[in-house]
Amino acid sequence: MARISFLLLFTLSASYLLAEVNRYAIFFTDKNNTPYSLNEPEDFLSQRALERRTKQGISLTENDLPVDPQYVSGIRQAGADVFYTSKWFNLAIVQMDEALTSNLLSLNYVSDVRLIAVDERLNLGSREKDSWLGRVKSKSTDSQLNQLGINNLHNDNFKGEGILIAVFDSGFRGVTSSAPFASIFNESRLLDTFNFVLNNEDVYDLDAHGTEVLSVIGAEVEDEFLGAAPDASFVLYLTEDDFSEYPIEQYNWLLGAERADSVGVDIINSSLGYNTFDSPFEDYTYDDMDGNTTIVSQAADLAASKGILVVTSVGNEGLNSWGFVVAPGDADSVLAVGYVNSQGILSSGSSRGPTSDGQIKPEVVARGVSTSVIKESGDISSASGSSYSTPLIAGLAACIWQSKPDLTAMQLRDSILSIGDRSTTPDNLYGYGIPRYGDIIASLETIGRSSLKVFPNPTSLNVITVQGVSDPDAIFTLIDAKGKRFQLTSNRSGSDDSYNLELINFSPGTYLLEVSIKRKKEVIRILKR
């Protein structure tokens, strides 16, 4: 049954009604008559996207099907200007007069109408790109890379080649005109751009925050500046409107994630976070930070379910009244990143956990105090915040993934947690700590390709058997979906290399079984039914 959302009822205040035309999300009831088929995915997903799913064993689902074009045509005929559709949420983003709301709700295929931003903003403008500018000499990036062991990856020639990274941000001003980014263009490693704020392909305007974020991953100045994954390929999506703060930015993030999925992106870097808005009626509470409530956190988990590693900032709320993680950092399948200084000491500004449902946040931390960045002018400078620790982790992930291409996105996420310097004692300040590649090369060799056998798996029993463990001092640790660790009691099962582990006190769900044998770790995914 069609309904006006609670959000809409409360946000249609006098201040909102000052503008005749606003932006809305129109939710549809179904995809029953869609002309698209899961048997012909090439109609709506790129070959690279399909290969990513096949490689990771991910099946197509109904939310992969595009919105029914007849429904889109119907709301357009009713008077709404349609700009975007979301297949994952089965909705359309429109601009229209508020008076059309009742007309749209009368359509039997419309379930909800939500006001998501005031005033007209979407258009079809564009601008020309500039020529290359120069740069100035400054400090190197050695400190921030070496803290994560990225130098070890680079020395082995793993610099992110073949990994496609999407950067979601508020603008990339100067990227087309700054020499440190020239190689990205000269080597044809920029594969897609889109501005969801203005509805065009020009992302090189509005703001330069994304420029600095991108530089931490992909910029290069010989002997002076090196990004964490300088050989990676990129898509740049402008999802954040830096001049206002309305829920539409979360929908922009959703649209960006869907487009990233479709073009075959491997990693999403999002140095963005949401908890308060220009209208206080729309503000989130701490209870909403449960990984499931906000649009953007739902979108982040959906992206992860498609085989994309989502790396996002935990937020810079540590010194204000909010203090805690912001969305989508609360999602349970992302890597939420806090920030530390060059000595590895947490910044007081870094948001903390837990989420309202008890998840450990952040997952990891990296250098975010005086991080070296490239400014829009092409100059090397520094900046601080989780915006800059996040791309360091994204770059680390890209280089590891290049070195271990058989890992799934979740295996990669799990391996990064396992190499944190606080992985055995995670908390809600540092998470699993600073992940350092050089400290855990050996463990990466076996993640996803374990020599151990676990049976039955999946299991509905309260006991599982691990076979292939010859060391009597082996430690068995079970890790739940919230990152909580439980050391298990083990008993030999009758042979020298087999152990029985009790799961009697664990609820159904997905777990990681970590087997520590001396300095070597193997991680196996367990499904308890």
413 has pLDDT over 80: yes
pLDDT tens per residue, range 12-41? 444 444 458 999 999 999 999 999 999 999
What's residue 2's pLDDT?
41
What's residue 139's pLDDT?
45
pLDDT tens per residue, range 241-278? 988 888 999 999 999 999 999 999 999 999 999 998 88
**Domain interval for residue 512:** 453-528
On whether both 28 and 108 belong to a single domain, the answer is yes
What's residue 450's pLDDT?
58
d(CA 389, CA 395): 10
Comparing CA positions, the residue from 210, 199, 220 lying closest to residue 166 is 210
On whether both 171 and 107 belong to a single domain, the answer is no
On whether both 356 and 482 belong to a single domain, the answer is no
Domain count, the chain: 3
On whether both 29 and 177 belong to a single domain, the answer is no
Strands 498-502 and 490-492: antiparallel
Residue 443 forms part of a structural domain: no
Find the CATH number of the domain harbouring 476: 2.60.40.10
What's residue 472's pLDDT?
83
Q: What share of the chain is helix, strand, coil (3-state, %, to 5)?
A: 25, 25, 45
On whether both 357 and 464 belong to a single domain, the answer is no
pLDDT tens per residue, range 165-223? 999 999 999 999 999 999 999 999 999 999 999 999 999 988 999 999 999 999 999 98
Mean pLDDT on 121-145 = 56
Token pair 């050695």 is found at 142
On whether both 300 and 390 belong to a single domain, the answer is yes
What's residue 481's pLDDT?
59
Helix, strand, or coil (residue 224): coil
Residue 129 forms part of a structural domain: no
Tokens found for residue 65: 């099907």
Share of the chain above pLDDT 90, in %: 69
Q: pTM of the predicted model, to two decimals? A: 0.81
Omega of the bond leading into 247 within 30 degrees of 0 (cis): no
On whether both 232 and 374 belong to a single domain, the answer is yes
Find the CATH number of the domain harbouring 27: 3.30.70.80
Q: Which one of 376, 398, 420 terminates a domain? A: 398
Residue 137 forms part of a structural domain: no
Residue 222 forms part of a structural domain: yes
On whether both 112 and 176 belong to a single domain, the answer is no
- 37-41: long-range pairs with CB below 8 Å, 24+: 37/65, 38/62, 38/64, 38/65
Residue 305 forms part of a structural domain: yes
Residue 106 forms part of a structural domain: yes
Regarding predicted confidence, which is higher, 450 or 276?
A: 276
On whether both 457 and 385 belong to a single domain, the answer is no
On whether both 78 and 150 belong to a single domain, the answer is no
On whether both 364 and 238 belong to a single domain, the answer is yes
Residue 51 forms part of a structural domain: no
Find the CATH number of the domain harbouring 217: 3.40.50.200
Per the CB < 8 A criterion, the answer to whether 360 and 450 are in contact is no
What sign does the CA torsion over 313, 317, 318, 324 have? negative
Residue 425 forms part of a structural domain: no
On whether both 372 and 494 belong to a single domain, the answer is no
Q: Which one of 382, 398, 414 terminates a domain? A: 398
Regarding predicted confidence, which is higher, 443 or 212?
A: 212
412 has pLDDT over 90: yes
